[in-house]
Chains A and B, each alone.
Chain A
Amino acid sequence: AQTVTQSQPEMSVQEAETVTLSCTYDTSESDYYLFWYKQPPSRQMILVIRQEAYKQQNATENRFSVNFQKAAKSFSLKISDSQLGDAAMYFCAYRFLGGATNKLIFGTGTLLAVQP
């Protein structure tokens, strides 16, 4: 069975600084996507960044980038120049591409606080 683990229940960062959120996963499959979602207090789950497993190049979206280590099954999120609006719960998620559904498997989340 596929699993996703986020070992940091809470993290804190100073505004304008850089923070890295950790995620590890377990799967025997080779074709999958990995995602980072942000869930602010409004509860809306917002896609931050996506990584295709077949791509060696790490995905980047503005201030957000990932460090994807396929052999180690590690997928960390780096937030640069942190802003107050980045404060939220962050979830790492896995999706197997070979199944019949778009099922996402989520970790337990990391609550990020941004200090002014």
Chain B
Amino acid sequence: ETGVTQSPTHLIKTRGQQVTLRCSSQSGHNTVSWYQQALGQGPQFIFQYYREEENGRGNFPPRFSGLQFPNYSSELNVNALELDDSALYLCASGWTGQAKTQYFGPGTRLLVL
């Protein structure tokens, strides 16, 4: 167990809808990152939040947005869902220090129909 939790575990949406995924970080961590893992692929970095601000983003459009709360929980919001958004969404929490690694949650499986 990594101490990182995500909800829900599974979700089904239709194209054009909006979705919010949630992550609760391990106690003491000050960064939260989100990754998208398409079937049969490695995770792709969406963005990272540090001190409630987005401080880095991968190659994802603005309809992917997020929030980080003072208790280091986080949300990933995706607007105008597309079929290609179907994937496993992973959050990872960690520290900004160089000597540390990240700990992943179990993921949310999103299916867009």
Count of CB-CB pairs between chains A and B under 8 Å: 67
Partner of B33, one of A43, A103, A106: A103
Q: Which of A14-22, A63-71, A75-83, A93-101 contacts B (4 or more CB under 8 A)?
A: A93-101
Q: Is A74 interfacial (CB-CB < 8 Å)?
A: no
Report the minimum CB–CB distance from B63 to chain A (whole Å). 20
Interface range on chain B: under 10, 10 to 19, 20 to 34, or 35 or more?
A: 20 to 34
A43 and B88 contacting across the interface, CB-CB below 8 Å: yes
Report the minimum CB–CB distance from A23 to chain B (whole Å). 11
- C-alpha spacing A42/B105, complex, angstroms: 11
**A103 contact set on B, CB distance < 8 A:** 33, 45, 48, 56, 58
**A97 contact set on B, CB distance < 8 A:** 98
Q: Is B14 interfacial (CB-CB < 8 Å)?
A: no
**B76 contact set on A, CB distance < 8 A:** none
B residues whose Cβ falls under 8 Å from a Cβ of A: 2, 31, 33, 35, 40-45, 48, 50, 55-56, 58, 88, 90, 92, 94, 96, 98, 101-107, 109
B56 and A99 contacting across the interface, CB-CB below 8 Å: yes
A residues whose Cβ falls under 8 Å from a Cβ of B: 4, 33, 35, 37, 42-47, 50, 91, 93, 97, 99-109
B48 and A102 contacting across the interface, CB-CB below 8 Å: yes
Question: Can you name 8 extra interface pairs (CB under 8 A) apart from A44-B104, A103-B58, A104-B33?
Answer: A33-B101, A35-B101, A44-B2, A47-B101, A91-B42, A100-B56, A104-B45, A106-B42
Partner of A102, one of B88, B102, B105, B106: B102
B43 and A104 contacting across the interface, CB-CB below 8 Å: yes
Given the interface contacts A35-B101, A107-B42, A109-B42, does A102 sit within 8 Å of B96 by beta carbon?
yes
